[in-house]
Structure 1
């Protein structure tokens, strides 16, 4: 870039050529002067404590301090809220664990009660610090995890108990029946000799519905010379039940049956002296007293006795 200077004092026009390096040099000198002036002013302000600068610096410090306090306060508030939520979760888990334990029949060890020593004195609030809050949160989180694991174990046991109860023959196979011969030794009704009765009898009119006492799979549904029309049901774990002397069979071998489902009707088929249901419960083929299972239900106590 060229600049032409014209003046009446000059005999001829003068031309000045400005190169890029001249512009860079001028900018460098200007920046140096600005930074130098700022540094000198800052030094003088700090050294002589000029009121304007000192007030400005104090204002900036107060703003930064307030920001820090607000940040810490917000964090503490969030941590305190989280702590309260965890404490509520622990209380809920305690109550839920107690209910599940009662439902599953699991006895839990009661905490040892210790007498507290006498205490007293004025109330002096002591807010928790950030590190104390963090420590309490971590402790409660560990407690929540431990109680969650305990609940998982209780849930598993409750499920096992529910399944086991569904498979136990506790439902009365005949409604509105009269209890006949119990389980055990008796005088055979036909031969008149001492014999073992491996079930219990329910006396009712022919055609009275017969239901299965628990969930299971029908093993057989056929005619037997002694039992007449008989149904055997497998309940799993070696447990089975038998329903004999039926007038009809309403179940097929291999079919799934649910507790209380109709499987037949009372009759007097086979070796029988009159209409009744002969009901057996066997464990791995060994006859058990059916009353021990039926008493676990609520219906057996209402059965009519002779």
Structure 2
């Protein structure tokens, strides 16, 4: 049973019963309900800031995972860039220097991407800046790798050419040390044994018994293998790269014009043909059409002591054998 309420009426000096209109009652009820809903809504909004739904938790885990992998990928990118930088440094300062190739300019290696905004499609996302920066770093690293790959391809080509060139430079004695009687005469002004006057001796004379094997001192092509009035039986070999060698006074030629020979191949035997005063090999080295001292071209055959002894013997003034 509802409790009856009264109020004191000062005009009548008596208590009167309080009566509530139905409209007022309904208003209070509606306001009460609205207040309850409002408080509940506010509570939900506040509460939702601290408590996530299962879907939100899942999305947050995925986002955290993506950020973690982004950090790991960024670190690997930095490490890869550091390794590439070391390779670029070796490429410019060691490989290309050794093969006498120009270094690749830094601006060519690390040039960016100009023109249109190539990353425009990545705009409009929560992490657009992060994605664009990583994509840009990947593009730059990829371009640097392409430049370095092409450079290494060039180095391989240069190495093959260098190997071919080194094999084509005279580097051994044409007659083995154990077969020599002596090194009769070196490069320079000498008394000619037949003509009896001093003239330029453009090669070196290796004294050895008739029939001693003579070897090509580098890879090349035989351009002459014939009889000469001055050099007797003589062989000329063109090695390319400006180098040619001459082998004179042979007793017998064991090669032919047009034949490709390799360093160490037998090309003839020591003799005493032509203008010669004794059995020996007259050997010349020409560089770019000019005779040079052959003593500089035995680095692949002699010990330091043997080379010093040869230098001393070659420097002595005396008579040549031709």
Shorter-normalised TM-score: what interval? 0.5 to 0.7
Residue in structure 2 matched with residue 204 of structure 1 by the alignment = 208
Residue in structure 2 matched with residue 242 of structure 1 by the alignment = 246
Deviation at 1:231, TM superposition (A): 1.1
Residue in structure 1 matched with residue 294 of structure 2 by the alignment = 291
| Per-residue CA distance 1:227-247 (angstroms, 9 max, x = gap) | 122111122255321111112
| Per-residue CA distance 1:108-142 (angstroms, 9 max, x = gap) | 79x9xxxxxxxxxxxxxxxx955554444444444
Pairing 1:175-254 to 2, within 5 Å after superposition = 175-176=176-177, 177=180, 178-254=182-258
**Cα root mean square deviation, aligned:** 3.8
Partner SS for 2:63? helix
* Number of residue equivalences: 244
Contact 1:80 1:133 in 2 (8 A): no
Unaligned runs of 5+ in 2: 1-36, 107-128, 314-322
Deviation at 1:190, TM superposition (A): 1.3
Pairing 1:24-43 to 2, within 5 Å after superposition = none
Residue in structure 2 matched with residue 61 of structure 1 by the alignment = 56
Pairing 1:1-306 to 2, within 5 Å after superposition = 48=41, 58-95=53-90, 98-101=93-96, 103-104=98-99, 131-176=132-177, 177=180, 178-283=182-287, 286-291=289-294, 293-294=296-297, 297=300, 299=302, 302-303=306-307, 304-305=309-310, 306=313
Query: Following the alignment from structure 1 to structure 2, what is the Cα–Cα distance between the partners of residues 58 and 73?
Result: 22
| Per-residue CA distance 1:206-247 (angstroms, 9 max, x = gap) | 222211111111122222232122111122255321111112
Deviation at 1:168, TM superposition (A): 2.0
Moved more, 159-168 or 238-247: 159-168
Judged with a 3 Å threshold, the aligned counterparts in structure 2 of structure 1 residues 48 and 106 are, in CA distance, closer, same or farther, namely closer
Contact 2:173 2:298 in 1 (8 A): no
Judged with a 3 Å threshold, the aligned counterparts in structure 2 of structure 1 residues 215 and 293 are, in CA distance, closer, same or farther, namely farther
Deviation at 1:174, TM superposition (A): 1.5
Deviation at 1:181, TM superposition (A): 2.1
Query: Following the alignment from structure 1 to structure 2, what is the Cα–Cα distance between the partners of residues 60 and 71?
Result: 17
Contact 2:244 2:285 in 1 (8 A): yes
Partner SS for 2:53? helix
Query: Following the alignment from structure 2 to structure 1, what is the Cα–Cα distance between the partners of residues 269 and 60?
Result: 89
Partner SS for 2:185? coil
What TM-score, normalized by structure 2, do the two folds share? 0.61
